[in-house]
A and B are shown apart, each in its own frame.
Chain A
């Protein structure tokens, strides 16, 4: 994957420091570290012989903070450009499909959850029509039922009752 994207990345070199991976990675790291440190602040460090629950989070958080700073400093002379091309449609629909599955499974059962997920996530790829999605949903739910419920006997709600 990275080898395919390499030419596109190198084409974007020289866009200025704002488009650098190091900058964004640095910001993300610092945000993550700061929230981890904030949340774990009252976990307790313990004594030297009996370290508390907050000890390792503190060490990891501080190291992350330092490394995030290093990434920011480096961003000025870094040559790697960030890939700002975010595929919103697949991202939202795929995630939406999974969330649909999670919300429906306990309430409506496996069969309904699968068909709904397929209909929500289906438009992420071009060429899927509502009819082809309904068909895919029915086939996938029949297959999943026979494999996981009938054959492997995994406990999973099949219907809403």
Chain B
């Protein structure tokens, strides 16, 4: 039972008064920002990143994980009570969660979401603990061509599984790749795309870019909409009745399974997990007509799934160093700022960090239940603060956040520029999420590509000779063909329309 020994070790490290405090603060602040409509987890984490700068790495990571789950869960509260999805993965929670709230079952919906998420989080914590060691073992046999193949596969899968047009998503990835190359090329020492600006020689600040695209862009489009005073449904009893509990339990189990699986996939994570779980619940239900009108399963399964998915998406990041979605890309950037390089070596070289973080994921989930249910009235109050005050605070926090990564006002300008880009991209039907993945993976892809060709003395066959790499490239190719075939494309579009 080595696993339990390692988990116990992690808990020993994580349960210090200081770490518990930061975990609590992270979950609390994350929920606070997550409850506010119109700021997703990416913007929330980017905005609050500077808070963790002065902390020791373990505490910082624990706080970031808390922030992430908090932001995730806070979105569900808003979805249930006001019918505004705080972020994209709680879009489906709006459907049945808000319908339940309208029927006077808001408390039950919130409790099912919280307890379902907690259960899913607990299972996902164990899944990470169990599968990390074999993943690390596999990853340690990887060489440059294999990493190259893996990253290409990751990007392609992310594009295929993401929402919207495949061609435009690939364009976004490639634009991201080019933006990711800005700065001094490590191998040749040549400056690329820097326009002679010294601040660009170390590349575009990832945090400023993410905050511009997701935070500032979102603020502008929120301001463009006229907000009425949100109609918040009252919360009465917090306990689900017997019938609701009976229906929720199997749905939570199914949601956890689906979410854990979809979370590991590149491009997966919370969003696709919640959508997938909802579609499956509806298809398999004996009462599909109830969906959209307050079906308990329609809250329980997606909420469990998005939490499970949010958590298992850490597996590729922690074991392979490969971020599978925009939030993980930001986590990677945050880890780099703290001098931690995720990947197969992390578990071997910094077992303290690795296991403490896994333990803290569970603690973070527990904190969420503790924070959310008793404090629900506080969140309701927060929902009544007018947006015309909120967005000013968001902007100021973004500005300070962008500045403090490199102590550079140039980065604040970069954020402003990408704010404009982030506002305009959806207008022409482009999603910024694949772009972020391209930016963060660009240097790694180029480096592994380069090294592979050095090893093979310039022969391209190396990518096909290594079975792992060839396998990844083959699957990527099949994925591409699959989405370009009209029949499957239709099926995919239907799945997202649900």
Chain A residues 86 to 136 lying within 8 A of chain B, measured CB to CB, are 86-87, 90-91, 94-95, 97-99, 101-103, 105-106, 110, 113-114, 117-118, 121-122, 124-128, 133, 136
Instruction: Tell me the complex Cα distance, A71–B168, Å.
Output: 8
- Chain B interface residue count: which class? 35 or more
Instruction: Tell me the complex Cα distance, A47–B442, Å.
Output: 20
Please, could you name 7 A-B residue pairs with CB atoms under 8 Å apart, sorted by A?
A52-B188, A64-B171, A68-B171, A83-B426, A102-B409, A102-B412, A126-B388
Contact A154 B404 (CB under 8 A): yes
Give min CB distance, B60 to chain A, whole Å: 12
List residues of A whose CB falls within 8 A of some B CB.
1-3, 21-22, 24-25, 28-29, 32, 36, 39-40, 43-44, 46-53, 56-57, 60-61, 63-64, 67-68, 70-71, 74, 80, 82-87, 90-91, 94-95, 97-99, 101-103, 105-106, 110, 113-114, 117-118, 121-122, 124-128, 133, 136, 140, 144, 147-148, 152-156
Contact A97 B395 (CB under 8 A): yes
**In the complex with contacts A60-B178, A105-B403, A154-B396 CB distance below 8 A:** no
Instruction: Tell me the complex Cα distance, A148–B47, Å.
Output: 12
Instruction: Tell me the complex Cα distance, A22–B386, Å.
Output: 37
Instruction: Tell me the complex Cα distance, A135–B50, Å.
Output: 25
**In the complex with contacts A3-B91, A95-B420, A47-B174 CB distance below 8 A:** no
Main secondary structure of the interface of B (DSSP, over half): helix
**In the complex with contacts A97-B395, A144-B396, A154-B404, A74-B413 CB distance below 8 A:** no
Question: What 7 new A-B contacts, CB under 8 Å, besides A57-B181, A102-B399, A154-B404?
Answer: A43-B192, A50-B453, A60-B174, A90-B224, A103-B409, A140-B392, A153-B54
Give min CB distance, B329 to chain A, whole Å: 18
Q: Pick the contact of A154 from B53, B91, B391 — CB < 8 Å?
A: B53
Contact B192 A57 (CB under 8 A): yes
Please name all residues of chain A whose beta carbon is closer than 8 Å to the beta carbon of B88 when the two chains form the complex.
Answer: 1
Contact with A along B324-368 (1 / 0, CB 8 A): 000000000000000000000000000000000000000000000
Please name all residues of chain B whose beta carbon is closer than 8 Å to the beta carbon of A103 when the two chains form the complex.
Answer: 409
**In the complex with contacts A39-B193, A82-B429, A154-B50, A125-B396 CB distance below 8 A:** no
